[in-house]
Structure 1
Amino acid sequence: MSAVPFAAGALPSRTAHILGVIKSAILNGDVEPGAALVENDLAREFGVSKTPVREALKVLEGTGLVVIRPYTGTFVRELTVADALAIYDLRLLLEPEAVRRTVATGVELNDAATALQQATEATEGSQRSLANRAFHRALYAGCGNPLLIQTLDGLRDQTALVAAASWAHQATWRDEAAEHADILAAATAGDADEAARLVAAHIDQFSRRRIANGSDVEGGVG
């Protein structure tokens, strides 16, 4: 992780900046699963006290990207195949219905189109991951159920961790981008049922081809 010491007032939130840098490093594969994240070392690298580092690590723990072990330290989460399957299984249960409801409302999907373009133009994994997250969220955020949105939001970082591990073994993001384009086309046409079906197929296919057999994620996600 590359960072420079902060100038006073240079950033509105030191914690947010540290959080962003560490998250990008994890999702780009610059920090491997199981790697230790040492508060003292990070504070020295960022030129800050341990407090904003500790706050950033707590946020990352809450999103499932790191594990904090009392009296031992903080580590990048190592996902097992079972973990990855559970994450995608929950998405499969919830996300297609959320997308169906969003599309049925007839809301504008400009944010989804923008995110799809950003994913296409991305030059590194974390950029692509963030764009993909934005794409999926734009399609489910209008479902009208705040609890459903909150639950799906809570899965986004863990989903990104699975995808990052998988892409490290084989860059299938082009196939996934094509599937995203098909989903957006159906959603833009107002076909809620077809959009939901395509989202379900997209999630299920990734789970089957990239996770279930373990060959592409074993060692990458734990």
Structure 2
Amino acid sequence: MNFAPHPIPSRTQYVLEAVKHRILTGQLAPGQPLVETELAAQFAVSKTPVREALKTLAGTGLVVMSQYKGATVRTVDAAMAQEVYDVRLLLEPEALRRTVRSGALLEEARDALERADTAADAAERSLANREFHRALYLPCGNPLLSRMLDEVRDQAALVSAVAWATLPSWEREAAEHREILRLALAGEADAAAAGLHDHIASFVRRAFPEGDPS
């Protein structure tokens, strides 16, 4: 018996990616209702792919489904940020430590930094930031560890988008990214992991001081 997941239909995937992009770039604000009929009209599709896309986004933590309110963009508060960043603090530094010890070249991390530095807007910069972090943990040699980090990736991006809207701190974080990558490329696994831990913890501490997870 084949238990492989069924591929998402193309229309559903199209709606899913479009709504996700709008959420992560702030075009759809936390708490904003996601009305199936309105989204179906905007994307020129039936309500079925919209409904399926919203269910998938609810599974990733970007959307909240309520029997009474319908679907809304997930709100971000200190408790939500702490929940997501606790996972990152526990797993991401260790994944980077393993990546460095594996001798990975980290070319994709370099490329992501360059894209971030030349980004035309906050949305492009946010996407480059996500790719930088993923490029650090993906070659860790443990596919399950990578998948676990992928599962909180969208929620972490939502936290970042909300935080940057009120507390722009990209230049500081970009400098921290460069130092983390320098240590990683130098083969200093423990120092790179420690730098990444401090980077993640300090961001959420500044953005949500009442929910400091460190």
Normalising by structure 1, we get a TM-score of: 0.87
SS in 1 for 2:140: coil
Structure 1 residue 49, shift from structure 2 partner: 0.9
Provide the secondary structure at the position in 2 that maps to 1:151.
helix
Q: Deviations over 1:134-157 (max 9, x none)?
A: 111111111122221111111111
Change in 2 beyond 3 A, CA 1:184/1:14: same
Matched, 1:99 2:96: yes
1:58 and 2:34 are equivalent in the alignment: no
Instruction: Say if 1:85 and 1:212, in contact at 8 Å, map to a contact too.
Output: no
Alignment of 1:89-168 (within 5 A): 89-168=86-165
Deviation per CA, 1:38-62: give whole Å up to 9, x if none: 1111101111111221122122111
1:195 aligns with 2:192: yes
Q: Match of 1:78, SS?
A: coil
CA shift, 1:125, in A, is 2.8
Kept in 2, the 8 Å contact 1:34–1:76? The answer is yes
Gaps of 5+ in 2: 1-8
**In 2, Cα distance between the equivalents of 1:155 and 1:101?**
19
Letter of the 2:195 partner, please give it: L
Residue matched to 1:4: none
Quote the offset at 1:71 in angstroms. 4.6
Asked if residue 30 in structure 1 is aligned to residue 27 in structure 2, the reply is yes
* Residue in structure 2 matched with residue 206 of structure 1 by the alignment: 203
- Tell me the alpha carbon deviations over residues 61-101 of structure 1, each in whole angstroms, 9 at most, x when there is no partner: 11111111125310000122111112112211111011000
SS at match of 1:68: strand
Task: Provide the identity percentage.
Answer: 55
CA distance in 1, matches of 2:41, 2:204: 40
Structure 2 equivalent of residue 9 of structure 1: none
For the residue of structure 1 that corresponds to 2:105, the secondary structure is coil
Q: Is the 8 A contact 1:100 1:193 kept in 2?
A: yes
Q: Does 1:77 align with 2:66?
A: no
Distance in structure 2 (CA, Å) of the matches to 1:35 and 1:79: 12
How far apart are residue 23 of structure 1 and its match? 1.4
Tell me the secondary structure at the aligned position of residue 108 of structure 1: coil
CA distance in 2, matches of 1:149, 1:173: 25
Contact 2:167 2:207 in 1 (8 A): no
Whole-angstrom CA distance in 2 between matches of 1:17 and 1:174:
33
1:8: which partner in 2?
none
Q: Which amino acid aligns with 2:116?
A: A
Give CA deviations for 1:106-137 in whole Å, capped at 9, x if unaligned: 01100011111112222233322221111111
C-alpha distance in 2 between matches for 1:121 and 1:24: 20
Amino acid at match of 1:86: E
How far, CA to CA, are the matches of 2:168 and 2:119 in structure 1? 13
How well do the aligned residues superpose, as a CA RMSD in angstroms? Answer: 1.5
**TM-score, normalization: structure 2?**
0.90
